[in-house]
Structure 1
Amino acid sequence: MATLPKSVIIVGGSIAGLLHGVYLKRNGTNVTILEQDPNATRSSHNAGICFGPSVQEFLRLYDDTGIQSCQPGIVTRLAYRQNLYWRDTTIVRHLTSWGVLYRILRANFDGLSSEAVTTPPVARARDGKGKYLSGKKVTSLQMTHDGLVVGYVGEDGKEESSVADLVIGADGLHSTVRNLVQAPVVKEYSGYVSWRGTVCVADVSPETARYFQDRTVLGLLKGTYIVCYIIPPDSASFASGTRLINWVWYCNLPETPESNLKELLTDSNGHIHTNTVPSGLVRVEIWRAHLAQMLPLIPAPFAELFVKTESPFVTKVNDALCSRATFLDGRVLLVGDALATFRPHFAVATEQAASHCLGLGRVWRGETALQVWEKEAVDHATRVWLGSRVMGAGLLRGWVEFLLLTWKYVVFFARSKIGV
């Protein structure tokens, strides 16, 4: 599809779906986003995200809110075991919370008012229409003479359908669109989980606050590691007393009968989650037992964060890679995590989604072909997918897995260089 479509249905209302929705709306397309989550405003759990030049460029071109979106981390610090000041590097990361970026994009897409964006921007003269429909579970996808027909079910069980020129699957790791088009995909559990949480900077000791100030910190320990950085709350306040120290703690937990993975994913109401036990639902005894076992190994600044976190959440770290991004003659596209979900060590999921969006913009302007965009997107996804596995193995899984995955990465890189 070399021209901008007049109507688009986007399945998935998270960051990837909203990036594409805002772009298309700004360029005159009428866009409907179907989001399975029934909440009108999705919960962020105060999760932190990093982004790079593609997201920065996107916001420069299409964000009309005028609010601050991120805070640069001017230093990346490596702590090794008990050596808290092992290495400092000059790697700069743009740090924010999922909730802030989500609210900025919603304000631009469908005028959502929030504590972060109290006065959404007015529409531009050439804007199309943007509709965000919550609680809509997609069930079918068919190509007809009238266009692509997407069937979905609301919270009340009522079956509905909509028609569009193009459908974009931006519905993440467990993509329904990917399943409906029978896309070839590899999915795997990594063998480890990520604990996550936040603590307000004002609630930690001055020494701990100074240690994490304006930097990303990686705590490298034996068989586990921790990532910490400062983010704004969902209100988008960057005042020093309101900011949060966001932490992610990766821990091995194989999926075996002997492990307690199933118990870990069972929440305080007895419900077993597929992927994430949300903040507020993690069983207190599970978190306390984990801390009791691990805290003696954890350096003081990190330990203080864990102890003072009231509502952590935990995620089973999976990845997925699809070898195609276009289907039904280019009228169905997979973007963001629906195309490739990475183990999160490189923190590039948001950047990948923005890159997909800007790349499709070049297709719709006639500057490149859709097949070229697809090849670039899949090749990049494969490199990062393999690279994130290598990093995860090196930090968590041991030398045998690390060397095996490194060999696979080298082979892929060599083959891509010679055009195979």
Structure 2
Amino acid sequence: MATQPKNIIIIGGSLAGLMTGLTLKHLGHTIRIYERSPTTLLHSQGAGIVFGPEAQSFFSQHVHVSRSLSISSKLRQTLNRDGSILNRDEREQKMVSWDLLYFCLRACFDGLKSSYCETPERKEEEGKGKYFYARKVTGVKDLGEQVEVEFEDVDADDLFGSEKADLVIAADGPSSSVRKLLLPEVVRTYAGYVAWRGTVVESEASKLLKTTFVDHFTFFHGPGIQILSYLIPGENGSLEPGKRLINWVWYCNYPADSPEYKDLMTDSDGHFHHTTMPVGKIQDQLWTQQKEHAKDVLPAAFSELVCATKMPFVQAITDVISPQASFFNKKLLLVGDAVAGFRPHTAASTSQAAYHALLVEQMMKGEISNEMLDEMMDYARHLSAAGQKMGNRSQFGDAGINLKVS
């Protein structure tokens, strides 16, 4: 354990920020998380997550809640266009939902009460954790022994402030505002395709959907198309059969400068979204067109799954990687997607966040030093390249594409 408790600010209050904050709180440090969202809770959009080994290791060590978190899929299968089985692979994978992980982390970090899990008692040796909303970071300054963080309150017109910390950790995602301040030349780029996403409640699914997708990790590949599906926890993180969700992700190509892409990312109120089209904001006629397209190109089970979805959303697939993770003589660190935003084919975003949190823990305990940063960047470069290779092979037959997203 660190010999002297530190005053630490974490910028970004999603999974990476909470994981890192929780490990440091368990070491006795005082943690303040600044989240720019003005709402009291972030929105998951109903996203499913593959629960990889790094994430499993982190939660077993640091998240002490008396409930199960994941659903196991023991069979991986790929369908032909006619719905027959192309291949099967008996490989167990664990699935979870963003919202279940978030609420369990919040319960352990700052005692947020929810219907997802109980709030564990704080141990005496733990540090203090506080979570601030509506704090948009506008500047960071190296003061020698400390770092000054400047911010504004996004809920107030003229409320600005600054606070000092011994260590600052930027966990503010692939469009990291901190990374932009320090490395403005690092640009997040659009990969030329998007992910349509949605869920269907298991109890509302037909016999065909249950037979095809329940307890199976299922894929279909076609020209410029990949769609996949797996079970995730349902409302309030329920793992009960019938209450679980059949989660699907459908990758479709949209050239950056095409009218179709601009139309897709313009919501029903006329606002353009650069990376995510939220639930309930997709133009009705575009969703109708997509469901008709599903009937034309997907196996019957996948087509029915898409058409049964009530609240879809869309994510632009992007690439970004920082050339470094450390600044101000290691008093400011990037973690999670702020270091590298992977394409979702790798299923590694949450794993990277957990991996970084555990590395930071080792660094603060004095178990590792410079090699931590080398490991972080090697991991980031490897997974970034792997995600690009998988995505480009799937969507473009290995054709490289590199188009900017502003």
Q: Could you say whether these structures have the same fold, taking a TM-score greater than 0.5 normalized by the shorter chain as the test?
A: yes
SS in 2 for 1:88: strand
Residue 269 of structure 1 pairs with residue 269 of structure 2: yes
Question: 2 CA distance for matches of 1:5 and 1:23?
Answer: 13
Give the partner amino acid of 1:189. Answer: Y
Instruction: Spell out, residue by residue over 1:271-291, the C-alpha distance to the aligned partner (whole angstroms, 9 max, x if none).
Output: 111211111111111111122
Instruction: Spell out, residue by residue over 1:141-188, the C-alpha distance to the aligned partner (whole angstroms, 9 max, x if none).
Output: 112256211111111131022211111110011101111222763532
Alignment of 1:16-415 (within 5 A): 16-117=16-117, 119-144=118-143, 147-154=146-153, 155-157=155-157, 158-182=159-183, 185=186, 187-256=188-257, 258-369=258-369, 371-401=370-400
- With over 3 angstroms needed to count, the CA separation of the structure-2 counterparts of 1:324 and 1:183, relative to structure 1, is farther
Question: 2 CA distance for matches of 1:145 and 1:399?
Answer: 47
Q: Percent identity at matched positions? A: 37
SS in 2 for 1:197: strand
- With over 3 angstroms needed to count, the CA separation of the structure-2 counterparts of 1:235 and 1:4, relative to structure 1, is farther
Q: Which residue is equivalent to 1:408? A: none
Cα distance, 1:51 vs. partner? 2.0
Question: 2 CA distance for matches of 1:61 and 1:399?
Answer: 40
Question: 1 CA distance for matches of 2:3 and 2:227?
Answer: 45
- 8 Å CA contact 1:46–1:234 kept in 2: the answer is no
Question: 2 CA distance for matches of 1:210 and 1:100?
Answer: 25
Question: 1 CA distance for matches of 2:333 and 2:138?
Answer: 17
- 8 Å CA contact 1:201–1:245 kept in 2: the answer is yes
Greater Cα offset, 233-242 or 97-106 = 233-242
Aligned length: 399
- 8 Å CA contact 2:180–2:186 kept in 1: the answer is no
Question: 1 CA distance for matches of 2:60 and 2:96?
Answer: 16
- 8 Å CA contact 2:199–2:247 kept in 1: the answer is yes
Cα distance, 1:5 vs. partner? 5.5
Instruction: Spell out, residue by residue over 1:260-304, the C-alpha distance to the aligned partner (whole angstroms, 9 max, x if none).
Output: 211111111211112111111111111111222342111111111
Q: TM-score with structure 1 length normalisation?
A: 0.91
SS in 1 for 2:38: coil
Cα distance, 1:84 vs. partner? 3.5
- 8 Å CA contact 1:185–1:322 kept in 2: the answer is yes
SS in 1 for 2:237: coil
Question: 2 CA distance for matches of 1:314 and 1:101?
Answer: 21
Cα distance, 1:234 vs. partner? 4.3
- 8 Å CA contact 1:253–1:259 kept in 2: the answer is no
Gaps of 5+ in 2: none
Give the partner amino acid of 2:392. Answer: A
SS in 2 for 1:172: coil
Instruction: Spell out, residue by residue over 1:352-396, the C-alpha distance to the aligned partner (whole angstroms, 9 max, x if none).
Output: 111111112222222211x21111111111111011111111111
Question: 1 CA distance for matches of 2:142 and 2:346?
Answer: 37
Instruction: Spell out, residue by residue over 1:115-149, the C-alpha distance to the aligned partner (whole angstroms, 9 max, x if none).
Output: 112x3111012111111111111111112256211
Question: 1 CA distance for matches of 2:4 and 2:43?
Answer: 32
Give the partner amino acid of 1:151. Answer: E
- 8 Å CA contact 2:170–2:178 kept in 1: the answer is yes
Question: 2 CA distance for matches of 1:68 and 1:318?
Answer: 32
Question: 2 CA distance for matches of 1:302 and 1:294?
Answer: 8
